[in-house]
Chain A
Amino acid sequence: MEQSKPKRLLTLFASMLYISAFTFGGGFVIVTFMKRKFVDELHWIDEREMLDMTALAQSSPGPIAVNAAIQVGWKMGGFAGMLAAVLGTIIPPMAILTVISLFYQKFAANRYVALVLRGMSCGVAAVILDVSVSLGRNVLKTKNGVYLAVMAAAFVATFFLKINVAWIILSAALIGVIMALAARKGGKRA
């Protein structure tokens, strides 16, 4: 964070541009790439805050990538940072789609494009699972029964039961509220 503000805005813009141009797939993909960049590489944000941003991005209206960029932008450079991060996020898909829409049927039917994309999806799966292992290990390290149960239950709910993600986030938040109330009650009694 020793960079001057203009330089920081440029790094922010360039990072989002680069991540956004190369990440295919849903919002969780770009969030994992952002975690690798802003948490592991630049050390701008700590892991817990990145997870908070992910939860907020996921449960707010609009694209997860844009929602996450807005939060990182505000944190790193106020309003200008938010603009830099959002522009970095939306320029690549807009530019790429503009070019491709000129000849999209050929693009969609091209065998080489399909092969490259299939190869890339193997890499994307690896990136997401790599980040998942690191994050999951940190939850295990808390050795907190409630957090472990929330993680296991959320996994079963989304992976096996295919419950809407909004309900999962709401339920986890509710558990947090109950725990806070319980802690307050316990505190008063003691």
Chain B
Amino acid sequence: MTLLDLFLSFLQTGLFSVGGGYVAIPLIRSQTVDVHGWLTEAELMDLATIAEMTPGPIVVNGATFVGLKIAGVPGALVATFGAILPSLIIVSLLAHIYRRFREMPLLQSVLASLRPAVVALIAAAGINMLLQVAFGGRNAVALANARWAGIALFAAAFFALRKWKANPILIMALCGAGGLLLGLAGAF
């Protein structure tokens, strides 16, 4: 039963990938390369590259990619459903608990101290991305490594967002076009 295997494998991947993409790739590797032999090491590398280059959660990308390869479109659907089923159950449950008890002083206090931590996590993710586009990574921060075209694109985008509250997706699309033009001009 390939479809059942696909479902169960990605169910485990979905269930154990707490905290997003960081742990998803090792989990997908263990299920698809080590346990079932659905992908070769090289194909897993391809998957990681494509997941990075396309929108969407790595787990959903991985389930679609592996499902298609093993059992066509039904495989992709079954694997993706398996990957998000733990979320559907657990997060729905937690969302109801939140709705019911959010007025409780204890939960209020917990949420109030979680919020600043979440802000810090988002900011750290943003700074890491900025260091990536400005210098090629956090370990390469030095004037000699500065990527001026990337810094200029970032600065223009940041200015437009702060000053004019520009639509973020429009900004991203414009940055993509800017990257292409600068790259073709040999400056990026």
Interface positions of A (Cβ within 8 A of B): 18-29, 31-33, 36, 40, 48, 51-52, 54-67, 70-71, 74-75, 82, 86, 89-90, 92-94, 96-98, 100-101, 104-105, 107-108, 111-113, 115-133, 135-136, 139, 146-148, 150-155, 158-159, 164-166, 168-169, 171-173, 175-177, 179-180, 183-184
**B18, B52, B129, B153: which contacts A128 (Cβ < 8 A)?**
B129
Q: Any chain A CB within 8 A of the CB of B61?
A: yes
Q: Could you show 14 A-B contacts with beta carbons less than 8 Å apart?
A: A21-B55, A24-B52, A28-B126, A55-B117, A56-B94, A74-B99, A93-B61, A120-B173, A122-B157, A124-B175, A126-B158, A126-B175, A129-B130, A172-B113
Taking CB atoms, residues of chain A closer than 8 Å to B80 are 90, 94
> Contact at A56–B95, with CB atoms within 8 Å?
yes
Q: How far is the CA of A85 from the CA of B60 in the complex (A)?
A: 15
* Closest-CB distance, A12 to chain B (whole angstroms): 15
Interface residues of B in 79-110 (CB under 8 A from A): 80, 83-84, 86-88, 90-92, 94-96, 98-99, 102, 105-106, 108-110
> Contact at B124–A158, with CB atoms within 8 Å?
yes
> Contact at A28–B60, with CB atoms within 8 Å?
no
* Closest-CB distance, B39 to chain A (whole angstroms): 12
* Closest-CB distance, B141 to chain A (whole angstroms): 13
Quick check: which of B1-9, B29-37, B64-72 contacts chain A, the rest being far away? B64-72
Instruction: Output the nearest chain A residue to B111 by Cβ-Cβ distance.
Output: A52
Q: A86 with B113: in contact, given A93-B55, A98-B64, A135-B122 (CB under 8 Å)?
A: no
Taking CB atoms, residues of chain B closer than 8 Å to A19 are 169
> Contact at B91–A125, with CB atoms within 8 Å?
no
Taking CB atoms, residues of chain A closer than 8 Å to B153 are 119, 122-123
Q: Is the interface of B mostly helix, strand, loop or mixed?
A: helix
> Contact at A176–B90, with CB atoms within 8 Å?
no
Interface positions of B (Cβ within 8 A of A): 14-21, 24, 46, 49-50, 52-61, 64-65, 68-69, 73, 76, 80, 83-84, 86-88, 90-92, 94-96, 98-99, 102, 105-106, 108-130, 132-133, 150, 153-154, 157-158, 161-162, 165, 168-169, 171-180, 182-184, 188
* Closest-CB distance, A180 to chain B (whole angstroms): 4
* Closest-CB distance, A37 to chain B (whole angstroms): 9
Q: A107 with B50: in contact, given A92-B56, A98-B76, A126-B154 (CB under 8 Å)?
A: yes
Taking CB atoms, residues of chain B closer than 8 Å to A146 are 113
* 5 new A-B contacts at CB < 8 Å, known A98-B76, A180-B106: A26-B125, A93-B61, A130-B168, A136-B119, A139-B119
**B15, B46, B88: which contacts A104 (Cβ < 8 A)?**
B46
> Contact at A117–B129, with CB atoms within 8 Å?
no
